[in-house]
Structures are given as C-alpha cells and as structure tokens.
Amino acid sequence: MIIKLEPINENNREAVLALSVREDQPFVAPNDVSLREADEANAEQPGVARPFAIYADEKLVGFCMFAFDPEEEDEDDRYWLWRFMIDRNEQGKGYGQAALQEIIKYFKENGADRLFLSTEPENERGLHIYHKAGFRETGIIDGDEAALMRMLKGPNRIIKNFYGVDVDKAMRIKGRKGYGVSIAVQAGDGDFLTYCAGSGRYGEDFPVNPDMLFQAGSVSKPMFALTLLRYVDKGLIDLDADISGVVPEFVKNGPVTFAALLSHTAGYNLHGFPGYRADHEPLSLEDVLNGKGVTPKLRRIRPYGKQHMYSGGGITLAELAFTRITGTALREAFQKEVAEPLGLKHTGFFQPLDEELVSNAAFGFRLAQKEDPAHGYHYYPEHAAAGLWTTPTELVKIGLELSKSYRKGGLLKKKTARRMMTPVLDGYGLCLDVWEYESINARTVSEQLHCSTQPVMYHFSTIDALKRASYAQVDHLHSKYLMTMIPEQDPILGIGLNYIRFAVEEPQLFRFLFQSGYAAEHSLLEMIDSEELIPVLIAMQEGAGLSMEKTKQIFLTVALFAHGYASIIANNGLEYDEKLVAEHLERAWNGAFLAAVQEEKEHEKTV
C-alpha cells in the first residue's frame, strides 16, 4: 500500500467534497466546512491551513488538513492535525493508520518537533486509532475536545508525566544541579521517545542526555543470562549439565547447573555486592568467591533446588564457569553476542569504566560527594551480578528484542527465550521475574521498581486494586493487538486470528487475562460489553452490516471458537497451523453470520 498526500486543487476538490463518514461518526466535520475554514484562515494568514487529499495506491480514500505555523509564539499552537477522515466506503482497510504515519512523516520532514490534535472524548474509535499511532492525552480540554500530542523529536513532556506521575516531582528533580533522571519509551511507530532532566552529577551543572551512561545494578544479571543463552543456542553450553567439575574449588557437593544458578535455586549465599572505589586494585572472580574482597566467601546455605533464594554469589559462580567453558570474558562475549547484533553503542560490562567513557557517565550522589569525587561510580569485579553500564534507550531495545525472541524467535531461539521467561520457583525464571496474576502484590511490584512498598500502597489502597490495574493494562494491550490488522485482511477473520496469534506470541499474558482469578469473576456477556471491546465490535459491525445486537452474537460464536483454540495453544498443547485455523475460523464465522441473517429475517416477518 502506497499512501500519498496531495494538496487540494481544482482537479480533486470536487471528489474530496464527495467524501463522507458514516452516520454514527458525528465527530468529523463535513469536508465542505473544513475547506471553507481553510480558505478563511489562508486569507488572513497565507499558508497556515494546509488541506490534502489522501490517496492509497492512486485511489482517493480520505481527507486531512493541517494547521502549520512555525512562527507562532506559543509552541503548542504551531503544528496541528486539524481535520482527518477516511471515506465511509474505505474504512476498515488499514488506510487510516497508514495515512496517519504519512502525516507524521510530513510534519517531521518539515521541522515540527511535536504534533497536536483534538477530538471528543466520546470518539472511542478515533481515540483508538490515534493511540495506536503514538498520540497521548495531554490533559488539556480545548472547548469540548480532548487535546492529544505526539512528540516527533526533542524532550518529551508526555514522558515527564509518566503514567500520570510527575517524574520531576517524584525524583526530586530541581534545576540543573540536583538529582538527574533519564527515561526512554518506544512510541507506537517504533521511534524512541526520551526525557532527560536534572544533573548526571549532583551539585554540578552536568545536564543528563539520552546517551549518558548509568550503572544498571542487577539489570546486569538478565544481560548475562542473555549472553549465556546465545551460547546455549549454538550448542556450546548445556543449561542442565552438571558444571561442578568446571568450578570444583567452589562446589564440594554437586551437582550444580547453570539453570539452577540463573534461577537462584542453587542455595548459595551472597545476596548482593556493595562495589569498590573506581581506583581499587583489580579483583578476579576467584578473589570475590574466596572472600578476598569486602564480601564473605561463597558457600551453599540452602538445599539445592528446593527454594528460591536471590544470590549474586550464585550468578558470579555462573560467570566464572561461563568464562572457563567458553574461554571468553563476559565483556567480550556480550559485545560479540548482544551489543554488535543489536547495534548497541553505549552498553557493556565496562569494568573498570574506560577513561574515554567517563566524560558522559552519571555519578552517584554519595560517591561523588564523599567517597571519590574524581570517580563517582563503583567498580564491580562481579560483572554478571552488577557490572553493566547502559542507557535507557538501549535497555529498551534489548527488552524489545527479548520480547520478539519470546514471540517468534530473534536474537534467541523462541524455545530458549521461553525457557528464560518461564518460572522455575516463586515466579522467577532465568535471571528474570516472571509475573503471574496471583504473584502480583506490593512486595513483587516494589522489587521491580527497586523501592519500598510504601509508594506502591500510596497509589493502590488494596492489593486487589493493584491487581485490577495490572489486569486493565494487559487488557488494553490485548485489545490493541486485536485491532492491528494486516492490510487487505478481512476485519472479522482478522480479529479472530489476532486473538489466537496473541496466545501464540504472548502465552503468559493470555493466561493472565483469561485463566487467572480475576478473569473468573466475569461472565462472557460482561466481557463483550466491556469498554475495551468497543473498537473491536465496531469493526465487526462494519464488515457484517448487521445490528450491534447481532454483531455481538456473531462475536460470541467466533470468540468461543477462537478462545478454545487459543487456550490449547497457550498451554503448550498444540502446534499452531495458521492456514488450518483460518479455514475453521471462517466456517465458524460463516455459520454464525448466516444464522444471524436468518434470525433477522424471521424477526422482520413477525413484525
């Protein structure tokens, strides 16, 4: 599909005037009104209104109009998507989302740093499309309409108010010399949005920037696991093999496996490591495990494989075994197996930190102010447990790649990624917490946020409220996934297939949504009437041409078929054959549709 924006001219004006939306879409002004307003605005200020015809593969499918005024003093009034519509006969074909991407591209190429639009809060379908394109509510009401904004480049003020929390206030960011923060979020179209504030070195005028390096602490552990699993995929390491013979001086009574060490079920001590001054003499992994640093000697203090007990010492033992088996230090292995394939420039196990990297590295408050002002960061000889340096943007890139690997394979094979993210004990996989509905509580959330339970309970008065909020977020993600259509795909079958694909690609989230305690509290009819399903039902209604009541009946029939198939897949009981599934799904749809049409005919006869 090739989308083009063509300025309104004498050749296409009448055709654009003939376009219209459906009767149940009163939120869009008629095109004759929009063009008249454009003429009036341009008469007063030439070029401020820019109306365009939207073409898809040379076919006229819609209309849009921009307010474009880069000289406007108020930066929030410079760039607006003033009007946007897709003709009633061309809706449900993917043209709207594709056209929005072309519109965003136009503003980017013409120097805009942000793009605004406004719509009625009741415009559920429109809001769904705009959210999918990366627009977010600003909290501003313009007349009776809610204003949305999408950042195109530069500091992101939406991220500053991250999920309704004022980042600067929460992090006590005051001015250019106080605490500092750096955030990265992937937008809907794949762009990375960043927000930086404060100082990277407390007390200094040292502004945080998106490429500033931060010490990642225990995020180092899953990065080590990711590196090690690359060797598993190559057949060079066996997760379940006894490696006690590789590190005999630290394992007196075997067995011990990488799987047990990475899942913190091997029973070892040494929860974490405090680190050393940057100018401390180098320590080897053997030195650390023998207690020659500031931490005790490694020893097993719990039965092997019986319980989960977080152990940085166990991770360090795994690192030592890894280096002995591969003959490669973790820094070099991560660079080759992770950083280079993903194009990472600012992430690695830099221990000690290279001098050329110090100039753009964040310093810790206590270290910089008291212990070591010249090098306000720690040296960690325990690379796998705590030695990673990275940036938020590159950390998000790694997370996205892990998600891709889990869904369909990527940097890791699908089977390997799924093992990494499958709980072993107490909701913990291989160096990763794996959340399930019953494990969500203030403690597990605070552990993820590296804070106390107090701020969690401040925002959620009860554990049930926290669980419901978590469920709502996943439910919203699921609804967006259902509406992500392949171009030219039938919307009805597409929704059903997407439902099953979600179970294939995100089985844990599927089980969380539909096989948890929360889901059991709701009937199918309640779920069909939920707000999140409104865009789904509207799309189905458009394709079927029936009443909403009959559309819901068809949806229920197709949903029962799709849910049964998806449930089997999500529980690893069936291989996914999309062609076969599509054939049976079409039969279910055809049967439900014919039954609905027949019922309507019978109803008309009785009336």
Predicted TM-score of the model (pTM): 0.60
pLDDT digits (tens, 9 = 90+) for 452-482: 666 666 666 666 677 777 777 777 777 777 7
pLDDT band at residue 435 under the 50/70/90 scheme? low
pLDDT band at residue 8 under the 50/70/90 scheme? very high
551-564 per-residue burial string, b: 16 or more CB within 10 A, e: under 16: bbbbbebbbebbbe
pLDDT band at residue 282 under the 50/70/90 scheme? very high
Alpha-carbon 6 to chain mean position: 34
pLDDT digits (tens, 9 = 90+) for 46-80: 999 999 999 998 899 999 999 999 888 777 778 99
- 184 vs 438, more confident: 184
**Architecture of the domain spanning 215-434:** 3-Layer(aba) Sandwich (3.40)
In angstroms, the CA 142 to CA 133 distance is: 21
Average pLDDT, the chain: 83
Share of the chain above pLDDT 90, in %: 37
115 forms beta bridges with: 150
Q: Domain ranges in the chain?
A: 3-153, 159-210, 215-434, 465-606
In angstroms, the CA 24 to CA 533 distance is: 17
139-170 per-residue burial string, b: 16 or more CB within 10 A, e: under 16: eeeeeeebbbbbbbeeebebbbbeeeeebbee
Mean pLDDT of 146-171: 65
In angstroms, the CA 227 to CA 424 distance is: 20
Residue 6: per-residue pLDDT: 94
Mean pLDDT of 79-96: 89
pLDDT band at residue 570 under the 50/70/90 scheme? confident
Whether the Cβ atoms of residue 62 and residue 70 lie closer than 8 Å to each other: no
Residue 440: per-residue pLDDT: 63
- Six-digit token pair at 197? 């504030």
407 phi and psi angles, rounded to 5 deg? -75, -45
Residue 128: per-residue pLDDT: 79
Residue 268: per-residue pLDDT: 94
**Architecture of the domain spanning 3-153:** 3-Layer(aba) Sandwich (3.40)
Residue 292: per-residue pLDDT: 95
Share of the chain above pLDDT 70, in %: 81
Element (H, E) at 386: helix 383-386
Helical H segments across 278-353, by residue range = 285-289, 312-326, 330-334, 340-342
CATH placement of domain 465-606: 1.10.357
- 604 vs 332, more confident: 332
- Six-digit token pair at 280? 């401390």
Indicate whether 514 pLDDT > 80: no
User: Highest mean pLDDT range out of 159-163, 188-192, 538-542?
Assistant: 538-542
Residue 287: per-residue pLDDT: 96
Mean pLDDT of 551-558: 81
Residue 527: per-residue pLDDT: 63
pLDDT band at residue 433 under the 50/70/90 scheme? confident
Whether the Cβ atoms of residue 348 and residue 334 lie closer than 8 Å to each other: yes
Residue 156: per-residue pLDDT: 53
63-67, 482-486, 535-539: which has the minimum mean pLDDT? Answer: 482-486
Mean pLDDT of 311-318: 96
- 199 vs 541, more confident: 199
DSSP state of 293: S
pLDDT band at residue 91 under the 50/70/90 scheme? confident
Element (H, E) at 65: strand 59-68
- Give CA separation, 532 vs 31, 370, 482, in Å: 30, 52, 11
- Six-digit token pair at 508? 């844990």
